[in-house]
Amino acid sequence: MPLPLGKMNWPPSHEARRYDRMHVSATWYAGDPRDLAALYGGDVPRTERTRESKRLLNRVYDWYWGQNDPAELDDKMHLPVAQDIAQMSSELLFAASPQFVVQPIVFDTEGKVPPEHALVVAATQRRLDKILRNCKMDALLPAAAETCAALGSVALRIGYDAATMSMPVVSRVDGDAILPEYSFGQLTALTFWRVVGADEDTIWRHLERHEAGRVLHGLYRGTGTNLGEKVALDQRVETAWLADAVDAEGALTLVDKRMSAAAIPNVLPDPLDRGSFAGRSDYSPGVLTVFDAIDKAMTSWMRDLDDGRSRLLVADYMLESKGSGSGVGFDSAQHLFTKLKMQPGDKGDPPIDQVQFAIRVDEHMRTVDYLLGQAVKLCGYNTESEIGANAGDMTATEYMGRARRSMNTRAKKLRYWQEIETLVETLLYVDADVFESQVVPLPVRMEVPPPVQTSAKMLAETVEIVARAKAASIEVMVRMLHPDWDDQTVDEEVVRIRDEQSLADPNASIGSAVAGDMLPVEDVRDATDTAAADLVP
């Protein structure tokens, strides 16, 4: 399908509601109090304007950020909970960098990789590692996961400029700059767009459409809400370099009919649009009301601090005189004083009195803590109090048991991120075709480390118990100690251990790899069950 001809609403009308929701989520994620005040007190999103007006919206929920009383000081306080939750999602997924492992496709009759093909796999792996380091993939994925949690989706795309680059790169595009297209739940096309210039009432947009086998580029001159007319790519310096690279249809051809972009939804389904496959934000409408209530409680707390400062009520005749006919006054920086209209010699209240209002610290703290806990839970995560962050050292099993809600959310999200495997494989195809790297493109598997790593001490103790009980082979124990090793490395290590054992004691049995007396069967069973549970990712 070609790029749009122009003269249409932008974003397209069928995507307007999703873009409006992303605008609200993006405002909370950014956390600028001025933008929040404008969002709820001034400019109302189009999807909310359709609900009869801002008056009806405020009747459903009286947004704290929509209350603008000119008589009150603008002292509202914002707690950036939305940012913290997005960072929490990112850290759960990619705090430990995933590994992209090239997979062999040739096996012998025994199911092993022939030596000549192993050399091919190793060469491809080295080239892939170099490309991913150049892309800074370790930093790219956590950033993409963070904006994905906030906006509901994110995209990764392959790009290159053969004239200035030595290899292709992968870049991130956030959900509010992509238009995915699906057929039977499968991504069929992905359009990226960006504003490359603005002069007076004219907006210049660059559209980049990724399809199976090609990438189309187009430049449009329109307005803030209309795409406008399609013009030649060389009319803007930002797209001029593409003019000589594309064909008559404005397309770049990809090898093997592959698609050089991937859209990753945050979570599905979207309760606000169940037919959409684009993904939904962690910030549901109910969560946003909790964010708003947190800011209201925090502002009330800070106002208590301001109201509770010590004051001296002082008769005005006791303050500094400014001279005959000029009255009296005091330095405004001395906020301790509050002037009262009194005359010398008046009876009743003393000329100086002290006032100290109570500060409701405990009430506000409990309110804020409760609301924070509800916000975190509604987004699908465990709070620190549930996990027991201050409870001392925990095994991996204990941590994952307490953080079950977070672990389940992580598992759901990782299923969508597996789409990166196909994209990285396409990266190898582009590298071989465009940059003639001489590597053989092969399938790639993404291996994401568990969020909690078992300590080396615990692994060693586990292997020792298993070895003393003669409950596992040398190969199993090597895999327990080195779960990241491939089959060939494990086999080589097993051979070394066997050789060392035969040299040390020709009569030693395989089970005595770690010498020791036999343990009672029931003790071995309990110990190995507990230890093995800690090793489960």
Q: How many residues does the chain have?
A: 537
166 or 497, higher pLDDT: 166
Pair 389, 298 in one domain: yes
Average pLDDT of the segment spanning 512-519? 41
Q: Determine the Cα angle at 118 with ends 112 and 121, to 5°.
A: 125
The strand pairing partners of 195, in sequence order, are: 205
Of the residues 369, 393, 417, the one at which a domain ends: 393
Q: What is the pLDDT of residues 66-123, one digit of tens each?
A: 887 655 557 889 999 999 999 999 999 999 999 999 999 999 988 889 999 999 999 9
Q: What does 153-212 look like in DSSP terms, one character per residue?
A: EEEEEEE--TTT-SS-EEEEEEGGGEEEEEETTEEEEEEEEEEEEEETTEEEEEEEEEET
* CA atoms of 234 and 238, how far apart (whole Å): 8
Nearest CA to 416 out of 446, 440, 391 is that of 446
CB atoms within 10 A of CB 88: 20
Q: What is the pLDDT of residue 316?
A: 56
Helix axes 487-504, 474-481, angle to 10 degrees: 120
Are 289 and 389 in a shared domain?
A: yes
What is the distance between the alpha carbons of residues 486 and 272, in angstroms, rounded to a whole number?
45
Q: Is 404's pLDDT higher than 90?
A: no
Task: Identify whether residues 374 and 463 lie together within a single domain.
Answer: no
Backbone angles phi, psi at 527, to 5 degrees: -65, -45
Tokens of 350: 């003393």
User: Tell me: the pLDDT tens digits for 29-42?
Assistant: 999 999 998 898 86
Q: Are residues 485 and 389 in the same domain?
A: no
pLDDT digits (tens, 9 = 90+) for 412-436: 999 999 999 999 999 999 999 999 9
Pair of tokens at residue 49: 């304007």
Give the pLDDT confidence score for residue 52 in this predicted structure. Answer: 39
Other Cβ atoms closer than 10 A to 262: 24
pLDDT band per the 50, 70, 90 thresholds, residue 384: confident
- 209-248: b or e for each residue (b if 16 or more CB lie within 10 Å)? bbbeebbbbbbbbbeeeebbebeebeebeebeebeeebee
What sign results for the dihedral spanned by CA atoms 71, 75, 79, 83?
positive
Q: Does residue 387 share a domain with residue 292?
A: yes
Does a structural domain hold residue 486? yes
Q: Is the dihedral of CA 34, 37, 42, 47 positive or negative?
A: positive
Whole-angstrom Cα distance, residue 189 to residue 210?
Answer: 6
Helix 137-151 to helix 16-30 angle (10° resolution) is 110
49 φψ region: left (φ > 0), alpha (ψ -120 to 50), beta (else): alpha
**254 domain residue, yes or no:** no
Whether pLDDT at 499 is above 50: yes
Query: d(Cα 171, Cα 260) in Å, to the nearest integer?
Result: 11
Mean pLDDT of the chain, nearest integer: 82
- Does residue 497 lie in a domain region? yes
**Least confident window among 238-242, 284-288, 323-327, 402-406:** 323-327
Domain boundary among 375, 393, 411: 393
Could you tell me if 85 and 381 are in contact, meaning their C-beta atoms sit under 8 angstroms apart?
Answer: yes
Query: Are 458 and 380 contained in the same domain?
Result: no
Give 139: exposed, middle or buried? Use CB within 10 Å, 0-12, 13-18, 19+.
exposed
Q: Which two tokens stand for residue 422?
A: 């196909």
458 domain-assigned: yes
Same domain, 389 and 461: no
* pLDDT bracket for residue 57 (50, 70, 90): very low
| Band of residue 372 on the pLDDT scale cut at 50, 70, 90 | very high
Q: How far is CA 537 from CA 100, 149, 400, in A?
A: 18, 23, 9
387 inside domain: yes
Kindly indicate the confidence band of residue 489, based on its pLDDT and cuts at 50, 70 and 90.
confident
Domain of residue 355 covers 285-393
Question: Is it the case that residue 47 has pLDDT exceeding 60?
Answer: no
Look at residue 94 and tell me if it is in a domain: no
Provide the number of structural domains found in the chain.
2
What token pair was written down for 429? 């195809």
**Final residue of a domain: which of 393, 418, 444?**
393
Q: Which residue has the tokens 């096309």?
A: 189
Contact 477, 501 (CB under 8 A): no
Same domain, 291 and 388: yes
* pTM score: 0.78
Structure confidence at residue 122 (pLDDT): 95
Q: Please indicate, yes or no, if residue 338 is contained in any of the structural domains.
A: yes
Residue 291, in any domain of the structure: yes
